[in-house]
Amino acid sequence: MNIAIVGPGAIGILFTTMLSKAGQNVCLLDHDKQRVDFISKNGITVDSKDKTYNYQVKITDKAGDLQDIDLFIICVKSYDTKDAAMSIKPVLKDSSLVLTLQNGLGNIEIISEILGQERVIGGVTNQGANVISHGKIRHAGFGDTVIGKTDSKIPAYLRDIREVFNKAGIPTRISKDIRALIWSKLIINVGINALTAITHLKNGQLLEYEGTRNILCQAVSEAMKIVKRKRIKLIYDDAIEKTEAVCEATAQNISSMLQDVLKKRKTEIDYINGAIVKQGQSLGIHTPVNSILMDLVKSIEASYNKTVCDKEG
Ligand code: KPL
């Protein structure tokens, strides 16, 4: 399968490497020319549980290089979804499919509007990975990946993608209810991401302290009120239990939002806890804990460029 991965974050790099290693024809699209040159020369290094390996991958900074692509996998941050979709629009062939493996709410809608709903596949991954440096990642958690269509159909190409992913060592299954899938992942991110970004704790450490455990439970419980009102059937029974299980499964992982904060980058807070606050407002459901988490992360972002003394003064 000819695959293009859009977005050089940890998940984009991980999928590029695993799918290339499994013999697929994969190219990574990265807007940063300097990083493209570095990775072209040095390949990708993956630190995994028990081994480290280096792998040569195809990478480009020009969307025009991506010809005859069967599957685009969008791995950019939610606030870059529109730009990513626009950049690949000119190189799509009629049969090209576009899979989003992003966090947060709203990505399927944005991609569908720009590239056409019929080619869009929703997906979530609980693989945990962190960027260590240019071209070097740590594969910290081996969660599952779930894909599905918004119309609940299971066309043959969905099975093909599942097979390609499974053969590459990315455990993947298909769901008929993509909305449930996106919300099921969102709830986990609501419980983990902002809290780790604020406390600088790894996912597993959130369970070690009464305070963080309590806040995690409250943030998830608020989000569950929205889930119930919208009559969304999640893919697990107990949201708090599931979020805690993901903390354990990805215990050593630095969440994507904490990685952003550590690198002083914009976060996806508006698409995660911010999305819960917004939904709560439109449904008349109070979400005070999510609102505080959102305000704290936004304050952290806004004060990136202040020194400690500035902050004190
Ligand atoms: O999706 C994640 C993220 O960091 O964004 C989790 C599942 C929390 C793993 O770190």
How do residues 93-147 score in pLDDT, each as one tens digit? Answer: 999 999 999 989 999 999 999 999 999 999 999 887 888 888 899 997 778 899 9
Measured from the CB, is residue 253 less than 6 Å from ligand 1? yes
- Indicate the pLDDT class of residue 313, thresholds 50, 70 and 90: low
Quick: pLDDT tens for 43-63. Answer: 999 998 889 999 999 999 999
Ligand 1 centroid to Cα of residue 14, in Å, is 14
Q: Which class is domain 180-302?
A: mainly alpha
Q: Residue 278, CB half-sphere, CA atoms under 13 Å: how many? A: 10
| CB 186 within 8 Å of CB 220 | no
| CB 68 within 8 Å of CB 97 | no
d(C-alpha 249, C-alpha 39), whole Å? 29
Q: Please give the pLDDT value at position 253.
A: 85
Ligand 1 centroid to Cα of residue 301, in Å, is 19
Quick: pLDDT tens for 173-182. Answer: 999 988 898 9
Quick: pLDDT tens for 157-203. Answer: 999 999 999 999 999 999 998 889 899 999 999 999 999 999 999 99
Phi first, then psi, for residue 233 (nearest 5°) are -100, 105
**In the chain, what are the domain boundaries?**
2-176, 180-302
d(C-alpha 11, C-alpha 101), whole Å? 8
Measured from the CB, is residue 196 less than 6 Å from ligand 1? no
Question: Lowest-pLDDT range, 133-142, 250-259, 303-312?
Answer: 303-312
Ligand 1 centroid to Cα of residue 279, in Å, is 21
Measured from the CB, is residue 103 less than 6 Å from ligand 1? yes
Q: Which of the listed residues 193, 248, 252 should we mutate to test ligand 1's pocket, taking the one with most ligand atoms within 8 A of CB? A: 193
Q: Nearest C-alpha to atom 5 of ligand 1 is from which residue?
A: 256
pLDDT at 7 over 90: yes
Angstrom distances, CA of residue 33 to CA of 8, 13, 39, 61, 89? 12, 16, 10, 6, 21
Ligand 1 centroid to Cα of residue 242, in Å, is 13
Could you confirm whether domain 2-176 is CATH 3.40.50.720? Answer: yes
Mean pLDDT for the chain overall? 94
Mean pLDDT of 225-236: 95
Ligand 1 centroid to Cα of residue 91, in Å, is 31
Measured from the CB, is residue 127 less than 6 Å from ligand 1? no
Ligand 1 centroid to Cα of residue 95, in Å, is 31
Measured from the CB, is residue 2 less than 6 Å from ligand 1? no
In 3D space, the residue among 182, 64, 58, 164 whose CA is nearest the CA of residue 120 turns out to be 182
How many CB atoms sit inside 10 A of residue 263's CB?
A: 9
Ligand 1 centroid to Cα of residue 112, in Å, is 24
Ligand 1 centroid to Cα of residue 78, in Å, is 14
Quick: pLDDT tens for 263-275. Answer: 999 999 999 999 9
Ligand 1 centroid to Cα of residue 104, in Å, is 11
d(C-alpha 105, C-alpha 258), whole Å? 19
Measured from the CB, is residue 190 less than 6 Å from ligand 1? no
Measured from the CB, is residue 192 less than 6 Å from ligand 1? yes
d(C-alpha 162, C-alpha 211), whole Å? 39
Q: Please give the pLDDT value at position 129.
A: 86
- Indicate the pLDDT class of residue 230, thresholds 50, 70 and 90: very high
Measured from the CB, is residue 87 less than 6 Å from ligand 1? no
Q: Please give the pLDDT value at position 311.
A: 64
pLDDT at 312 over 70: no
For residue 141, the ligand 1 atom closest to its alpha carbon is 9
Question: Helix, strand, coil shares of the chain as percentages rounded to 5?
Answer: 50, 20, 30
Q: Nearest C-alpha to atom 4 of ligand 1 is from which residue?
A: 255
